[in-house]
Structure 1
Amino acid sequence: MVMHSHIGVLAFPFGTHATPLLSLVQKLAASTSGVQFSFFNSSSSNEKIFSTYVSGTFDNIRAYDVWDGTPEVFSGTHFEEVQLFLDASPMNYEKAIEEAEAETGFKISCLLTDAFLWFGCNLAEKRGVPWVAFWTSASCSLSTHLYTDLIQDAVEHKGATAEQKLSFIPGMSVVNFGDVPPEVFHTQNPTSLAVTIYKMVEKLPKSTAVVLNSFEEFDPIIAKDLKSKLQQFLNVGPLILSSPTPPSSVTDQENECISWLERQKDPKSVVYISFGSVAVPPGNELVALAEALETCKLPFLWSLKHQAMKLLPEGFQERTREFGKMVSWAPQLQVLAHSSVGVFVTHCGWNSILESVCNGVPVICRPFFGDQKLNSRMIEDSWKIGLRVKGGVFTKSETINALESILSGESGEAIRKNVNKLKEKAKDAVESWGSSSKNFTTLLEILSGAKGNTRT
């Protein structure tokens, strides 16, 4: 391959941040020639995503490990791990970038980074190359962060309460101040992540482009507003509908889940439950959810870590074996695509929401942290594609009400129609004439214009 450009890709190795960024890089790699992508990420995250998303078919993508900041023996929490990683940055990335430049013989010509990695702006300026930031969540959460100063001023100096609406932010009139991600209030809640995101807010207007794994028609008012605030605001998703899917071997767990779904008699009847890779409801809520499922006798597929399964009511799995299935991991995309699945009980992470929309599956929301509470508000009151658990926690009675509303009530029919309308808009967006495809072409032009064939 004759190299024309060398793109440095900086991933944030926590939650599900790195996976959609790799999907974007795979799509870019399949759409360009003469461009080398160096993917910088922690060794554990690289090992996980490169084994799951087999990118051996892309000879122009090379993974490089960056130090994650943790000692050899580490038993801290997820949030302590994030803190150590941020403390080790950006020196860990700079070292890996130097390694990639030496190995390829070409200087980096553009930096494509997770938006959290605000120092990508400084690294790009230092090299005199473009910086493209990839925001891995919804446009609504990006909007709240960009309006941080106004939101904080309204609370600290104008007495705004948790129940008041963000009426001054375009497209956010249904959102309460209490729904805003806690990281927005970085002066009151100065966690390392809150400070990191605020630094990102200061840098994003300098970026050549901000890229999202979404589509403009999801939130057109917010998209229009963000276009006025950023040099380029490019929705290029949903990537699961348009990125090349590398071949992968089918695991026993995948076969087990899909085989079970195939045995379900009624379409759109199964309750699929998963709270992502980080969040686990407290024991009393797991019990309430289990009791609701057992009372309703609805067919369910529940993905839950083995350790958390110990918190379920004694004998629950045995008593529900005829209509329910517990697994420690499920192939979520394949599950949501199955015709027997009727509702998704979720933590409201953005990737899960997109996957649900792309498969026309309504959701029941139990948010935990970050942008999840905001997402759940938009799901129920703006997009109208699901319901929030009343009070924000699982109780037996309210969980039963939510399940019955989605699966058999009139409100469930309206919700299903709404999510299917969004599904069609998502499919249109990635067609050759669609908004996401046009934005992707713009992104390709930015990268192809970043000529960097200067040898080291």
Structure 2
Amino acid sequence: MATISSHIAVMTFPFSSHPSALLNLVRRLAASAPTVRFSFLSTAKSNQAIFSGKQYDNIKPYDVSDGLPEGGGSRGEGRLLVDRYILSIWWRNGCDAMGVPWIALWIGGPCSLSIHIHTDPIRSTVGDTGMAQNAEQTLKFIPGMSKIQISDLPEGIVDHLEMPIAHALHIMGLKLPGATAVVLNSYEEIDLTIITDLKTKLKKVLSVGPSTLTSSSPSKPDESGCLPWLDKHKAASVAYISFGTILVPPPSELAALAEAIEASGVPYLWSLPDHLRHHLPQGFVERTSTRGMIVSWAPQLQVLAHTSVGIHITHSGWNSVLESISYAVPMICRPFFADNMLNCRMVEDVWEIGVRVEDGILTKSGTMKAIELLLFNDKGKK
């Protein structure tokens, strides 16, 4: 092994796609800089998942606390576990205190990053009346945000300021101007006005995305045979359904979506965890078996790249949006939380490459309208 010339500590937010996105970037940096050692700090669960079966000469994982009591305590899920981790992290101000240069990777879109940097001006503009009273007000005072509404903002920007994650993101927005550079999982042309504005507020902005297009092979093989199944269908005819790894629609919406898919007659590939299938209408799987496929996991990038996929029904998380854009797949968005609403607004009203489901909720009639518009209507083809 080459003599180590320098050492970089890599600290990740160990949830959702954050660790794998950061490791993907570090993996490329490590290959280009073999004399640099990278220490990858994350929770044991996260490290085990992304480093399983993989070894790198100059990247070594180190486990840090997940914020739960030693040897006990509920593991928690979703936002609860995220909040516990945020409250426990020890490195928030470490780099500043030690005078160490630091670089931040933002795996979301430029729009959501801009929101966190402009949090205080947004609060000053909205005042004390809160989100509910200003839901339709636009952020035209922020470059590139003229179509973004107050109702599109993540929790904690206007209301619920006491939430740990909201507080941490606010602090992040205030500290980012001190970073040596901010790396974006995006490309400049998609949000040129926003990125140009960010460059006036940050020392250096580096757009290196979409990162998933430079990732290694899928984390798991296509054991369910999604790709051979897609080979049997006509171009741009299949509805691909996936809502990410954190949240899924409530049972009533899963049932409504299934009813819409069945009534529309479209072929579908649905990535749905096994433990949620009992929420589907009785007999749905059997009645649609000749034109549908339900799997517990799908190789999303390869699926979206397939010519038979015509629409992506999604939560509008940033990776999913970028991947859909990369392969020119229109989106039907059902946003949940965090940056989902912002991304959905950009998809529908700024880029005009998809639609939000009616009232933001999956209903049989609203979903059928969206499918009809994107798959069979001239506007959808455009």
* TM-score where L is the length of structure 2: 0.94
Quote the offset at 1:401 in angstroms: 0.9
SS of match in other structure, 1:343: strand
Cα deviation 1:91-143 (Å, max 9, x = unaligned): xx6xxxxxxxxxxxxxxxxxxxxxxxxx1xx2223333211011110000111
Preserved CA contact (<8 Å) 1:286 1:312: yes
Give 1:173's aligned residue.
146
Quote the offset at 1:158 in angstroms: 8.1
CA gap 1:170/1:30 in 2 versus in 1, 3 angstroms: same
Residue pairs, 1:211-290, within 5 angstroms: 211-243=183-215, 245=216, 250-253=221-224, 256-264=225-233, 266-290=234-258
Instruction: Say yes or no: does 1:11 pair with 2:12.
Output: yes
In structure 2, distance between residues paired with 1:343 and 1:145: 31
Quote the offset at 1:246 in angstroms: 5.6
State which of 106, 112, 123 in structure 1 corresponds to 2:94.
123
Cα deviation 1:234-270 (Å, max 9, x = unaligned): 1111123335x268773523xx211211222x01111
Preserved CA contact (<8 Å) 1:346 1:352: yes
Preserved CA contact (<8 Å) 1:185 1:194: no
In structure 1, distance between residues paired with 2:106 and 2:219: 27
Across the aligned residues of Structure 1 and Structure 2, the Cα RMSD in angstroms comes to: 1.8
Instruction: Say yes or no: does 1:153 pair with 2:124.
Output: yes
In structure 2, distance between residues paired with 1:143 and 1:339: 34
Residue pairs, 1:334-413, within 5 angstroms: 334-413=302-381
Alignment length (residue pairs):
377
Give 2:67's aligned residue.
69
Give 1:104's aligned residue.
none
Preserved CA contact (<8 Å) 1:183 1:370: no
In structure 2, distance between residues paired with 1:247 and 1:59: 21
SS of match in other structure, 1:183: coil
Give 1:202's aligned residue.
174
Q: Which runs of 5+ in 2 are unaligned?
A: none
Cα deviation 1:183-216 (Å, max 9, x = unaligned): 2126x43111001111111211111111111011
The AA in structure 1 aligned to 2:44 is S
In structure 1, distance between residues paired with 2:218 and 2:337: 34
CA gap 1:16/1:242 in 2 versus in 1, 3 angstroms: closer
Give 2:47's aligned residue.
46
Give 1:310's aligned residue.
278
In structure 2, distance between residues paired with 1:169 and 1:55: 43
In structure 2, distance between residues paired with 1:172 and 1:278: 27
In structure 1, distance between residues paired with 2:357 and 2:308: 23
Quote the offset at 1:282 in angstroms: 1.0
Q: What is the percentage of aligned positions where both structures have the same residue? A: 48
Residue pairs, 1:291-302, within 5 angstroms: 291-302=259-270
Quote the offset at 1:273 in angstroms: 0.4
The AA in structure 2 aligned to 1:260 is W
